Amino acid sequence: MAGENQKQLKEISKRRTFAIISHPDAGKTTLTEKFLLFGGAIQTAGAVKSNKIKKHATSDFMEIERQRGISVATSVLSFEYNDTLINLLDTPGHKDFAEDTFRTLTAVDSVVMVIDSVKGVEEQTRRLMEVCRMRDTPVIVFVNKLDRDGKNPFDLLDEIEAELNISLHPLSWPINMGKDFKGVYNLYDKQLQLFTPNQKVTAEDTPLKDLNDPVLEKKIGAKDAAQLREDVELIEGVYEDFDQDAYLKGKLAPVFFGSAINNFGVKELLETFIRIAPTPQGREVTTRRVEPSEEKFSGFVFKIHANLDPRHRDRIAFLRVCSGEFERNKYYHHVRLDKDIRFSNPYTFLAREKDVIDNAWPGDVVGLYDSGNFKIGDTLTEGEDFYFTGIPSFSPEIFKEVVNKDPMKTKQLEKGLVQLTDEGVAQLFTQHGGNKKIIGCVGDLQFEVIQYRLKNEYGASVDFVTLPFYKACWISSKDPKKLQDFIKFKQANIAEDKDEMLVYLAQSEWFLNTERINNPDIEFHFTSEIHK
Ligand code: G4P
């Protein structure tokens, strides 16, 4: 139906689905809040609670989770701004939950990366960028905290380019920083934006088509005017016109400067984002590429949020709609389970409330009540058999053996381990040719969470024994005999993941490199596609 398709195309072009990412403390929560204020989704500052765990303690995590409970309103925030529907996917701030963040990035079409102008590129920034690069996700950089004495902007650009290995293109330029911060010159719109701390709305713009206009001296003084002219001349000499295509291909990142807490530079960022950021994009599946404009619905689960209340062990599966129209109460095909299911209460995440919805379009995230049907990476379609690819597991960094302290509860423990790892809290491995259960996580905090939840929700008591491994590599080989030999010789280091894929657990980088050299026919992979 042509009319239907017109509607679908309109809905798609209206949407932008993205995440704000940063090293903790760079200003992600603050920037999110300002975006919501512009979107009219919240009325007062302070309404968005930071989901970061300040004291890095389990009790804090549990408290936050309990407060959030199943009210997952903070996981996806949808709001409208200038006729654009923005789906902002929240990512956990704590580094121990990095894998959750990585997976959320599979469900977005672009990201805004916040960098602290004082600290520059930090550990988590680097890792997040690597994940963006895997999918060529378009990135906009927001250099935050210009109200503080940070690094020289030219040095900062050099540092970001070198450390993150991406070309940059400044679209705004700061005039001083710290207590002398006067504002930014918008290189894209050729406008001057002057800074007044703590403005509710952004400062007034002064159009300035020609930087030699003497009005510049009046506004910012002779010294800063001279400096700005010099800087802009340099920038224009170095950078060609902004290449939007290169940005959309993930090769070039536009840069904005501002101060989130002072709401400075945020509106420009948001408006430029709407103008240049990609609309919902097509995605690769095991058999072909799925385009959002296709008539038939498809989508995948990228996150599962559990209810920590043991009396209601329901969960919410977060589904990213990739093509067609998702409709309430319609039967969809759950590819992995090969069964048709329908959803009577799917909901959306308009920031003001959690709404049951009748339909959703590509780019949207829908919350589905789940009693154990879903695991991360699951695909729903209108009947076609395929899986979305590029939703990998990443190698954990800490490995511990599970020791069952209460043999009477073995069944509960096994169920708990499977369900918790389906949620993506951690990865579960089984010793090859044995029964030993090994849990792999990115951070120590997760082990405490698992221990607590196994006890609280499943009545199972466990201890953990740290294992001396540093990475899990999924292994494969074109030569089955060579693979068998390798498994035989390295038995103590071989395990299977939940999909029965073989992994080699390496004690150290040195061991891994040695095995690679000694076994040229074996391929070692740091990530696994969940469905293969
Ligand atoms: P995160 O989500 O990336 O972890 O960062 P968040 O927004 O929570 O910001 C981290 C800290 O940086 C907060 O201070 C926040 O107020 C501050 N901040 C954010 N943007 C700016 C800015 O433009 N300039 C300056 N000077 N500070 C900024 P905090 O003391 O840790 O928390 P709070 O007590 O203020 O909430």
- CATH code for the domain in which residue 437 is found: 3.30.70.3280
Query: How many angstroms separate the CA atoms of 302 and 317, rounded?
Result: 8
The partner residues of 506 in beta bridges, in order of sequence, read 471
Alpha helices by DSSP H, listed for 197-265, are 215-220, 222-238, 244-248
Distance (Å, whole) CA 252 – CA 222: 34
Q: Is the CB of 260 under 6 A from ligand 1?
A: yes
What number does the ligand 1 atom closest to the CA of 32 have? 7
Instruction: Average the pLDDT over each of 96-110, 288-302, 471-485, 510-524 and give the range with the smallest value.
Output: 96-110
Residues 413, 364 within the same domain: no
Query: In terms of Cα–Cα distance, which of 146, 196, 142 is closest to 171?
Result: 142
What spacing in Å lies between the alpha carbon of 30 and ligand 1's midpoint?
6
Per residue in 472-515, pLDDT (tens digit) is 999 999 999 999 999 999 999 999 998 889 999 999 999 999 99
Query: pLDDT class for 69, splitting at 50, 70, 90?
Result: very low
pLDDT tens column, 128-142:
898 898 889 999 999
Is residue 56 over pLDDT 60? Answer: no
Does residue 232 contact residue 211 with C-beta atoms inside 8 Å? yes
Beta strands across the sheet bearing 167-170: 76-81, 84-89, 15-22, 110-116, 139-144, 252-257, 167-170
Taking only the tens place, the pLDDT of each residue in 423-456 is: 887 899 999 988 899 999 887 878 888 898 899 8
pLDDT at 412 exceeding the cut of 70: yes
Q: What is the CATH number of the domain that holds 141?
A: 3.40.50.300
Q: Does the beta carbon of 281 sit less than 6 angstroms from any atom of ligand 1?
A: no
Predicted confidence at residue 57, as pLDDT, reads 46
Partners of 333 in the β-ladder: 340, 381
User: Ligand 1: does its nearest atom lie under 6 Å from the Cβ of 141?
Assistant: no
Which single residue is written with the structure tokens 């002057």? 194
SS3 per residue for 421-442: HHCCCCEEEEECCCCCEEEEEC
Does residue 12 form part of some domain? no
What 3-state DSSP class applies to 391?
A: coil
Q: Is residue 6 in a domain? A: no
One domain, residues 231 and 131? yes
Flag whether 82 is in a domain: yes
β-bridge partners, 18 = 88, 110
Q: Are residues 215 and 320 in the same domain?
A: no
Residue 386 in domain: no
287 shares a domain with 268 = no
| Domain end residue (candidates: 326, 359, 381) | 381
Q: Indicate whether residue 25 lines ligand 1 (CB < 6 A).
A: yes
Within a domain: residue 2?
Answer: no
Q: Is the CB of 111 under 6 A from ligand 1?
A: no
96 lines ligand 1 (CB under 6 A): no
Cβ 119 under 6 angstroms from ligand 1: no
Instruction: List all residues 6 or more positions away from 510 whose beta carbon is below 8 Å from its beta carbon.
Output: none
Same domain membership, residue 292 and residue 257: no
Are 452 and 335 in a shared domain? no
- Asked if the model's pLDDT at residue 52 lies above 80, the reply is no
Please indicate whether residue 338 or residue 77 has the higher confidence score (pLDDT): 338
**Residue 405, in any domain of the structure:** yes
Going from the Cα of 259 to the center of ligand 1, the distance in angstroms, rounded, reads: 10
pLDDT of residue 71: 36
Section 150-165 average pLDDT? 93
Question: Residue 47: pLDDT above 60?
Answer: no
Is residue 27 within 8 A of residue 145, CB to CB? The reply is: yes
Q: Is 32 in the pocket of ligand 1 (CB under 6 A)?
A: no
Query: Closest residue (by CA) to atom 16 of ligand 1?
Result: 261
CA 27 to ligand 1 center in whole angstroms: 5
Q: Quick one: average pLDDT of 61-82?
A: 60
Residue 53, pLDDT above cutoff 50 = no
What average pLDDT is seen over the chain? 86
Domain end point (choices 251, 276, 301): 276
The CA 13 to ligand 1 mean position distance, Å, reads 33
Strand-pairing partners, residue 332, are: 341
Within a domain: 205: yes
Residues 426 and 504 in one domain: yes
Nearest atom, ligand 1, residue 260 CA? 23
Report the number of distinct structural domains present in the chain.
Answer: 3
Domain check: are 258 and 306 in the same one?
Answer: no
Q: Cα dihedral sign for 484, 440, 469, 528?
A: positive
Task: Name the more confident of 36 and 173.
Answer: 173
CB-ligand 1 contact for 34 (6 Å cutoff): no
Burial readout 400-438 (b: 16 or more C-beta within 10 A, e: otherwise): bbbebeeeebeebbbbbbebbbbbbbbbbbbbbeeeebb
- Judge if the beta carbon of residue 116 lies within 6 A of ligand 1: no
Q: Is residue 132 part of a domain?
A: yes
**Ligand 1 pocket: which of 60, 77, 261, 263 to mutate (most atoms <8 Å of CB)?**
261
Phi and psi angles of residue 468, each rounded to the nearest 5 degrees, phi first: -85, 45
pTM: 0.85
* Nearest residue to 457 (alpha-carbon basis) of 291, 248, 280, 314: 314
Query: Which residue has a Cα nearest atom 29 of ligand 1?
Result: 25
Secondary structure percentages of the chain, helix, strand, coil, to 5: 30, 30, 40
Placement of tokens 């030569």 in the chain: 479
Q: Ligand 1 in contact with 148 (CB < 6 A)?
A: yes
Q: Do residue 301 and residue 236 come from a single domain?
A: no
Q: Show the tokens assigned to 117.
A: 């102008």
End-to-end CA distance of the chain: 35
Name every residue whose Cβ is closer than 8 Å to that of residue 267 and which is 6 or more positions away in sequence: 38, 201, 202
Ligand 1 contact, 259 CB (< 6 A): yes
Domain span including residue 320: 283-381
Cβ(62)–Cβ(452) under 8 Å?
yes
